[in-house]
Structure 1
């Protein structure tokens, strides 16, 4: 049972971690749009629905980066001739083709003169993220297959351990509830203990093992490794598995 719950918890952690890492990449990424006229967030959203946030880049800061020796009057003259610069954040982390489509949509506007999507850096980060996600998903598939066979084996063990006792109680006229009562109580206790052990393993990983580790996808999402709500999720899942096992044992005894 513990092995089954460890597999389930790993799946939960994987889902939270990859989602957190993807949001982190999304928050760090921004496109730069150059426009000859002022534009609002509604203007950008009218061209592409992926637009989440728009921030105008101050012209004065750009001038200072280019050359700090400009005089105040010179800076004012240059500012008037300069186009408008906007930093665009998107509502999710897009792949290469989606990002290119956003870029083309912006360029359809008569106001937009240039769009810089920083393709090389974005594609490099997205490629790494896709590889990590694919690796984890492959591992999850194997864990799911192993978990399925473990559940089957768990049911076989329960059947072997309790069939004889159920038959004896049936001979003495015990009701179905009475025959199943001890089995259900033992199963629930086993389920809760297993859930606590599985949760404890991930709690230790989060608070002990992860200290000093330099794993990028996990380092910024340490909180995703364990949540106390997981104890209730694992307890519920283990109780469901136990109830199914008890039901199958009872059915098997009745058929025999």
Structure 2
């Protein structure tokens, strides 16, 4: 019974690490897609006295002229006594950016635009943009911190469990050491246990991942964010496979080579 509990402890530790890594990668990819979606829909409005073709500012990806014919027609109907055709109106432009700028970057960008003599006004919607940016950065920090904490605690738990198994096989390992056996033969029992449990952990983790990513809740969240997010299960399997076996083997080597 204790032997079975030991296996379950190691498997659950690996699963928690693999799940945290997968969730971090998935959440990071979702945030990147959502951030790009925000960038595509976000723009800075500038009012200029002259036509703008190029601003020589690296953050600006695209310059789009705003057609104000409808607004002029509405004003003409509202004020029929004024001939707006004889009034020289400024030019309005939407500036599309390459990425979502930080509040400081946005402030510097606004100042750079206002330094242009022909630009009279800049609308950055900085309040809403700052809130979105800070929220995205907070979510990234939380997921990264959670992944590292889970990985560290899980790895320490795996090492402790392998040390218990080392004590159970200590007599056989001691005899092998007396005969000059290399460490990979001396610790063959631990390596075998670690590899088997790693394989079991990967299978269970992939099952959980498939269940989570195909759930109604997960799909509804993706639809609400309005992003095109697809999971490459083969790629995720490869990454988790490498991580799982690397953690198990490295933990086993540390335990076998330790003098406790």
Q: TM-score, normalised by structure 2?
A: 0.75
Does the aligned pair in 1 maintain the 2:44–2:122 contact within 8 Å? yes
**Aligned-pair distance for 1:237?**
1.0
Does the aligned pair in 1 maintain the 2:159–2:252 contact within 8 Å? no
Range with greater deviation from structure 2 (232-241 or 121-130): 121-130
Range with greater deviation from structure 2 (85-94 or 158-167): 158-167
The whole-number CA distance in structure 2 between the counterparts of 1:178 and 1:204 is 39
5+ residue gaps, structure 1, are none
**2:229 counterpart SS class:** helix
Query: Could you tell me which of 46, 52, 59 is aligned with 1:50?
Result: 59
5+ residue gaps, structure 2, are 1-13
**Aligned-pair distance for 1:215?**
8.2
Does the aligned pair in 2 maintain the 1:203–1:226 contact within 8 Å? no
- Provide the residue aligned with 1:28 in structure 2: 41
The whole-number CA distance in structure 1 between the counterparts of 2:229 and 2:121 is 40
**Matches for 1:213-232 after TM superposition, within 5 Å:** 213=220, 219-220=225-226, 223=229, 227-232=233-238
Q: CA RMSD in A?
A: 3.5
The whole-number CA distance in structure 1 between the counterparts of 2:90 and 2:21 is 54
- Provide the residue aligned with 2:32 in structure 1: 19
- Provide the residue aligned with 1:39 in structure 2: 52
Q: TM-score, normalised by structure 1?
A: 0.76
Number of aligned residue pairs: give it: 245
- Provide the residue aligned with 1:243 in structure 2: 249
Offset from partner CA, 1:105-147 (integer Å, 9 cap, x none): 0011112111111223223333433443444345345434433
Structure 1 residues 163 and 21: CA distance shift in structure 2, 3 A: farther
The whole-number CA distance in structure 2 between the counterparts of 1:65 and 1:236 is 64
Offset from partner CA, 1:197-246 (integer Å, 9 cap, x none): 22332221111152575589x84458367743111111101111122133
Does the aligned pair in 2 maintain the 1:30–1:90 contact within 8 Å? yes
- Provide the residue aligned with 1:166 in structure 2: 173
- Provide the residue aligned with 1:104 in structure 2: 111
Query: Could you tell me which of 191, 200, 203 is aligned with 2:198?
Result: 191
